[in-house]
């Protein structure tokens, strides 16, 4: 089959095949875990009161029937995420016999724009859950992470008799985004708020996150004149007045990746809802689901890299230049300067563009603004070095991009549609682009193509990737692309670990988002090294990388806010 194909192309094809097999195995594992113990996972769509359509994942245990309705939980993801981010919670709920509805908030995933509309979609989602004939309407719990907490609070406010208990994971009651909490609202409330939450006092008040129990808003909610003691049960679940605060030593986003968030929710619903299977809360299988998604997340970029290497090689490569102290300093600057500019560029773009009908994704706007600045700086340095962007090579890179990205995209699309799983780990995920978002992809892609192309060309001009082994070249390219962001995150989270607050306390959301940016920029470095070593140019990798980054961002970022 590979007769007449060069050794390099064969090696690339074999790498791509091996990566495909690993991705398939990982996705199969993730799907098998979340649909285990007789649970059926399906994608559902329903129309809300305003006419907007929402998408959700429905986890239905085989024990839930119209003859024997089962208890149910509405589980909602946070800002910049989608229904899949509640997959770990939903897996554990469903295997205990709960029907679980995990919706995309309005403007997120496959739900209609705009974000924040109609109580984030919470009231409509709860109404749909209550309409299912196999759901016990007298035993419904609500759980939300971060902005998902505001979503379920909105649902509870709209349907005050439609639920029995509520869990806030890294979330809060009150203005400006959620209904105010009182001693009577919401019913049977568990608050899980980490002592290393990146949002600090934004959610609860100045004493949070280290002394959340002392916050006046929380004390009023619990009906306590003294600081609330974490772990103590206040009130009585029988009459809906129960309250409990837990403050695990974890960060905001880690709550849906950790037993510190999942175990308390399982215990709370076992205490406040009836009809679940008596499986101990500590008996959890979700880490295997995460392992499967993680393997697929690593395998998909490797598959793309292998397919790049399977492209037509150039007959000769430029001579490698020896390393030097100056080269290392320039590589350090390539890594660090864009990372230092990331938050200022995002802030400036947000102030300049705001929300508009053309560029609809606020956070993609911000990253695109940073990408444009990064492109301008890289192009300026390239010009001073007498090098160009290699734009004349872009047409020849199109077939490489199609060959590299189309199989990977089809894999992700099939896994999403057929098994409702994605390559992903934590909140870093690769999802297909919905039809609603296709024109957003075309709009944003040029920004990321330009940025990735210029950055890779600059790395090649400073430290040619032909130098040394493929491994050393790959590490060099990945470090130059994402190393500055890794250092930035180390500084932020080092200060957070020591003090309970980020180095830039007001930028919790952008700091969290930087984690995903660092990961995907490392993939860009991988593509660049393989392209230069195999094809003799980084230009095809710039095209592949820009399309890949635009794909992953546009598919996951909210529309309208």
Q: Are residues 177 and 326 in the same domain?
A: no
What's the pTM value of the predicted model, to 2 decimals? Answer: 0.94
Q: Are residues 267 and 407 in the same domain?
A: no
27 lies in some domain:
no
Q: Are residues 74 and 12 in the same domain?
A: no
Q: Are residues 373 and 417 in the same domain?
A: yes
Tell me how far apart the 2 most distant CA atoms of the chain are, in Å: 81
Whether cis (ω within 30° of 0) applies to the bond prior to 186 is yes
Please name the helix (run of DSSP H) or strand (run of DSSP E) that holds residue 541, with its range, or none. Answer: helix 539-556
Q: Are residues 300 and 419 in the same domain?
A: yes
What pLDDT score does 395 carry?
93
Q: Does the pLDDT at position 317 exceed 60?
A: no
Q: Are residues 294 and 260 in the same domain?
A: no
Q: Are residues 511 and 429 in the same domain?
A: yes
Q: 546 is in which domain, residue-wise? A: 7-22+289-556
Q: What is the DSSP secondary-structure string of 478-513?
A: HHHHHHHHHHHHHHHHHHHHHHSS-SSGGGHHHHHH
d(CA 474, CA 481): 11
How many structural domains comprise the chain?
A: 2
520 lies in some domain:
yes
pLDDT band at 253 (very low <50, low <70, confident <90, very high): very high
Closest CA to 136 of 56, 237, 65: 65
29 lies in some domain:
no
DSSP helix/strand/coil, 61: strand
Q: Does the pLDDT at position 319 exceed 70?
A: no
28 lies in some domain:
no
**Mean pLDDT, rounded, of the chain:** 94
What pLDDT score does 356 carry?
85
Are the C-beta atoms of residues 150 and 144 closer than 8 Å to each other? yes
Closest CA to 527 of 461, 460, 462: 460
Q: pLDDT tens, 473-495?
A: 999 999 999 999 999 999 999 99
284 lies in some domain:
no
Q: Are residues 216 and 353 in the same domain?
A: no
Q: Are residues 373 and 307 in the same domain?
A: yes
Q: pLDDT tens, 157-201?
A: 999 999 999 999 999 999 889 999 999 999 999 999 999 999 988
30 lies in some domain:
no
What pLDDT score does 256 carry?
86
Residue finishing a domain among 229, 247, 279: 279
Residue bearing the bigger pLDDT, 354 or 146: 146
Q: Does the pLDDT at position 554 exceed 70?
A: yes
What pLDDT score does 467 carry?
87
Q: Which residues contact 132 (CB under 8 A, 6 or more apart)?
A: 72, 99
Q: Provide the CA 3 distance to its chain's centre, in angstroms.
A: 42
What pLDDT score does 326 carry?
85
Q: Quick one: average pLDDT of 330-346?
A: 96
162 lies in some domain:
yes
Q: What is the DSSP secondary-structure string of 361-392?
A: -HHHHHHHHHHHHHHHHHHHHHHHTT----GG
Burial 106-140 (b: 16+ CB within 10 A, else e): bbbbbbbbebbbbbbbbbbbbbbbbebebbbeebb
CB atoms within 10 A of CB 280: 11
What pLDDT score does 322 carry?
55
Residue-level length of the chain: 561
pLDDT band at 2 (very low <50, low <70, confident <90, very high): very low
Q: Does the pLDDT at position 325 exceed 90?
A: no
Count CA atoms within 13 Å of residue 249 on its CB side.
3
Residue finishing a domain among 223, 245, 279: 279
Closest CA to 275 of 59, 41, 130, 98: 98
Q: What is the DSSP secondary-structure string of 294-361?
A: HHHHHHHHHHHHHHHHTSPPPS--PPPPPP-HHHHHHHHHHHHHHHHHHHHHHHHHHHHH-S-SSS--
What pLDDT score does 315 carry?
47
d(CA 485, CA 482): 5
Q: Does the pLDDT at position 232 exceed 50?
A: yes
Q: Are residues 334 and 225 in the same domain?
A: no
Closest CA to 397 of 551, 550, 552, 545: 545
Are the C-beta atoms of residues 115 and 560 closer than 8 Å to each other? yes
Residue finishing a domain among 231, 250, 279: 279
What pLDDT score does 321 carry?
55
Q: Quick one: average pLDDT of 355-380?
A: 94
d(CA 441, CA 292): 27
Which domain CATH number covers 102? 3.40.50.1820
Q: Are residues 341 and 433 in the same domain?
A: yes
Q: Does the pLDDT at position 100 exceed 70?
A: yes
d(CA 504, CA 519): 21
What pLDDT score does 7 carry?
76
Burial 402-433 (b: 16+ CB within 10 A, else e): ebbbebbbebbeebbeebbbbbbbbbbbbbbb
444 lies in some domain:
yes
Backbone angles phi, psi at 20, to 5 degrees: -60, -45
Q: Does the pLDDT at position 316 exceed 50?
A: no
Q: Are residues 253 and 336 in the same domain?
A: no
What pLDDT score does 97 carry?
97
pLDDT band at 18 (very low <50, low <70, confident <90, very high): very high
Q: pLDDT tens, 129-142?
A: 999 999 999 999 99
Q: pLDDT tens, 406-444?
A: 999 999 999 999 999 999 999 999 999 999 899 999 999
SS (H, E, C) 131-163: HCCCEEEEEEEEEEECHHHHHHHHHHHHCCCCC
């Amino acid at each position: 089959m590979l007769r007449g194909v060069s050794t390099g192309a064969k090696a690339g094809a074999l790498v791509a095949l091996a990566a495909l097999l690993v991705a398939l195995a990982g996705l199969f594992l993730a799907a098998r875990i979340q649909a285990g113990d007789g649970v059926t996972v399906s994608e559902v769509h329903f129309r809300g009161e305003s006419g907007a359509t929402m998408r959700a994942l429905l986890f239905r245990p085989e024990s839930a029937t119209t003859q024997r309705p089962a208890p149910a939980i509405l589980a909602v993801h946070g800002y910049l995420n989608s229904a899949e981010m509640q997959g770990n919670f939903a897996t554990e709920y469903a295997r205990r016999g709960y029907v679980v509805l995990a919706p995309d908030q309005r403007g997120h995933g496959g739900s209609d724009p705009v974000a924040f509309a109609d109580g984030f979609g919470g009231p409509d989602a709860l109404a749909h859950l209550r309409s299912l004939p196999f759901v016990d309407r007298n035993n419904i719990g609500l759980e939300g992470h971060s902005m998902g907490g505001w979503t379920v609070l909105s649902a509870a406010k709209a349907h005050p008799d439609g639920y029995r208990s509520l869990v806030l994971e890294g979330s809060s009651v009150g203005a400006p985004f959620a209904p105010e909490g009182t001693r009577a609202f919401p019913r049977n409330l568990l608050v899980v708020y980490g002592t290393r939450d990146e949002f600090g006092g934004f959610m609860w008040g100045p004493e949070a996150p280290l002394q959340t129990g002392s916050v006046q808003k929380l004390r009023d909610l619990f009906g306590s004149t003294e600081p609330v003691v974490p772990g103590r049960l206040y009130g009585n679940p029988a009459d809906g007045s129960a309250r409990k605060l837990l403050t695990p030593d974890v960060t905001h986003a880690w709550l849906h990746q950790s037993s510190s968030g999942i175990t308390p929710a399982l215990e709370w619903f076992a205490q406040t809802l009836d009809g679940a299977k008596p499986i101990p809360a500590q008996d959890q299988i979700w880490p295997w689901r995460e392992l499967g998604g993680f393997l697929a997340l690593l395998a998909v970029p490797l598959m793309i890299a292998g397919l790049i290497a399977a492209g037509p090689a150039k007959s000769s490569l430029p001579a490698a230049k020896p390393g030097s102290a100056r080269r290392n300093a320039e590589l350090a600057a390539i890594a660090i300067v864009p990372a230092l500019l990331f938050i200022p560029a995002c802030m400036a773009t947000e102030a300049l563009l705001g929300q508009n009908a053309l560029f609809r994704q606020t956070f993609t706007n911000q990253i695109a603004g940073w990408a444009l600045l990064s492109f301008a700086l890289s192009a300026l340095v390239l010009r001073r070095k007498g090098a160009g962007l290699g734009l004349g090579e872009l047409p020849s890179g199109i077939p490489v991009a199609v060959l590299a990205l189309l199989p990977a995209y089809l894999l992700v699309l099939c896994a999403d549609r057929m098994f409702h799983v994605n390559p992903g780990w934590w909140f870093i995920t690769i999802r297909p682009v919905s039809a609603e978002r296709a024109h957003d992809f075309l709009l944003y892609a040029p920004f990321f193509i330009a940025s990735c192309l210029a950055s890779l060309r600059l790395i090649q001009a400073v430290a040619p990737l032909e130098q040394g082994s493929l491994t050393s070249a790959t590490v060099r390219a990945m470090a130059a692309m994402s190393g500055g962001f890794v250092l930035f995150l180390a500084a932020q989270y080092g200060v957070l670990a020591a003090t309970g607050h980020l180095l830039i306390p007001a930028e919790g959301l952008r700091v969290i988002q930087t984690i995903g940016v660092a990961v995907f920029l490392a993939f860009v470095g991988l593509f660049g090294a393989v392209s230069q070593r195999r094809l003799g140019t980084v230009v095809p990798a710039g095209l592949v990388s820009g399309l890949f980054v635009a794909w992953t961002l546009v598919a996951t970022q909210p529309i309208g806010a």
